[in-house]
């Protein structure tokens, strides 16, 4: 597995060419770099899709329709922020969708026990945190590869949900609970969209403006060097696993509230869409680079694509072809272009 290789510097490129990494004589000016950056390319794609959509369907350019469209990505994007940090730090969590299922089941149990909204929400967040801690302990304390651990916990968490619920479902959440997934803060701004916006700012500041953010990059680029420069690598990774768990718990609150019911199959396949969103946002899957603005734009791109195709009556599974092609395409095209330019 490339993510967990024992030799962090290894890439097929450096292995096959002995020349090594080229260092440019002159740095490109910041303005040119900003224009050529991944984020601006992605923004261009987003605008393009937006324009195409508004031509394709007369129902697209409507404030309420656009507001509805945001539900396509808000829950996934909440997780994607934490996942972005985790992937930058060189780890991955494939159990996020399973955490949603388990947290949702726990919330259902609390609801059945007669607790009200604050307790239900707290249970969802706590369950997420505990699941994240479980992943984090296995990865940081026992030194296991995160991809295998989280494939395991993915089955385990959802499995527990199946044991509790079987083929049944929890229904009848209290009225006030529906605010998280169905409520609006102001005009067309839904609660979920507001949470998404606040999280985007928080994560952007944490990753790009704080010591912790720099530590995340350092760990992802070279964990050993980071350790020798005084960064507590295991602690940074543990915090990121906890964060990812917590965000999955939050997504579980929103999704359960929006659907109004819990089934063990809830959020199936979310983990792939979250990873797609993160990679589309320009986060290097091998760790070490990427930005939060990229993830935000990627969230909008994915939301717009699915919503636009939905307006055109394209079935969901065909949309998944588009998402899959997008995932490979956005990474393949720049590399093809580089190959082409080098001759």
Chain contacts with other proteins (rule: CB under 8 A): 1-7, 10-13, 15-16, 92, 138, 141-145, 147-149, 151-160, 162-163, 166-167, 219, 223-224, 226-227, 233-234, 264, 272, 275-276, 279, 285-286, 315, 317-318, 320-321, 323-325, 327-328, 331-332, 335-336, 339
Among residues 127 and 153, whose Cβ is nearest to other proteins?
153
Among residues 105 and 257, whose Cβ is nearest to other proteins?
105
* Distances from the Cα of 343 to the Cα of 221, 333, 336, 337, 338, angstroms: 29, 15, 10, 10, 9
> What gap in Å lies between CA 197 and CA 312, rounded to an integer?
28
Enumerate residues 6+ apart whose C-beta is below 8 A from 25: none
Among residues 59 and 337, whose Cβ is nearest to other proteins?
337
Among residues 13 and 209, whose Cβ is nearest to other proteins?
13
Please report how close the Cβ of residue 166 comes to other proteins at its closest, in angstroms.
Answer: 5
Among residues 58 and 166, whose Cβ is nearest to other proteins?
166
Which DSSP string corresponds to 221-287?
H-HHHHHHTT--HHHHHHHHHHHHHHHHHHHHHHHHHHHSEE-TTTTTTHHHHHHHHHHHTT--TTS
Please report how close the Cβ of residue 121 comes to other proteins at its closest, in angstroms.
Answer: 25
Please report how close the Cβ of residue 283 comes to other proteins at its closest, in angstroms.
Answer: 11
- Nearest 5°: CA angle at 251, between 105 and 71? 120
Cβ neighbours of 277 (radius 10 Å): 28
Please report how close the Cβ of residue 63 comes to other proteins at its closest, in angstroms.
Answer: 31
Residue pointed to by tokens 């997420």: 128
Please report how close the Cβ of residue 296 comes to other proteins at its closest, in angstroms.
Answer: 20
């Amino acid at each position: 597995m490339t993510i967990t290789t024992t030799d962090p510097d290894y890439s097929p490129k450096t292995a096959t060419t002995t020349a090594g990494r080229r260092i440019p004589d002159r740095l490109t000016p910041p303005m040119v770099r900003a224009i050529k950056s991944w984020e601006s390319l992605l923004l261009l794609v987003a605008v393009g899709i937006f324009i195409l959509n508004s031509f394709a369907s007369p129902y697209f350019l409507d404030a309420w329709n656009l507001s509805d469209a945001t539900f396509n990505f808000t829950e996934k994007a909440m997780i994607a922020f934490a996942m972005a940090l985790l992937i930058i730090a060189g780890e991955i969590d494939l159990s996020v969708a399973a955490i949603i299922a388990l947290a949702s089941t726990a919330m259902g149990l609390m609801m059945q026990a007669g607790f009200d909204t604050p307790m239900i929400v707290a249970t969802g967040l706590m369950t997420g945190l505990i699941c994240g801690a479980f992943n984090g302990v296995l990865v940081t304390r026992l030194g296991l590869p995160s991809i295998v651990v989280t494939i395991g916990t993915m089955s385990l968490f959802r499995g527990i949900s199946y044991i509790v619920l079987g083929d049944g479902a929890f229904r009848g959440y209290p009225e006030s609970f529906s605010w998280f997934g169905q409520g609006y803060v102001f005009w067309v701004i839904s609660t979920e969209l507001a949470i998404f916006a606040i999280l985007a700012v928080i994560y952007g500041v944490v990753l790009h403006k704080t010591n912790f953010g720099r530590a995340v990059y350092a760990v992802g680029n070279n964990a050993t060097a980071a350790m020798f420069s005084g960064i507590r690598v295991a602690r940074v990774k543990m915090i990121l696993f906890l964060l990812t768990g917590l965000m999955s718990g939050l997504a579980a609150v929103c999704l359960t509230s929006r659907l109004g019911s819990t089934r063990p199959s809830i959020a199936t396949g979310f983990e792939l869409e979250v990873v797609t969103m993160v990679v589309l946002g320009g986060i290097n899957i091998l760790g070490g680079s990427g930005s939060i603005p990229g993830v935000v734009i990627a969230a909008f791109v994915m939301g717009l694509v699915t919503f636009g195709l939905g307006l055109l009556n394209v079935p969901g599974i065909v949309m998944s072809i588009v998402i899959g092609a997008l995932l490979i395409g956005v990474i393949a095209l720049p590399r093809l272009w580089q190959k082409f330019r080098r001759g």
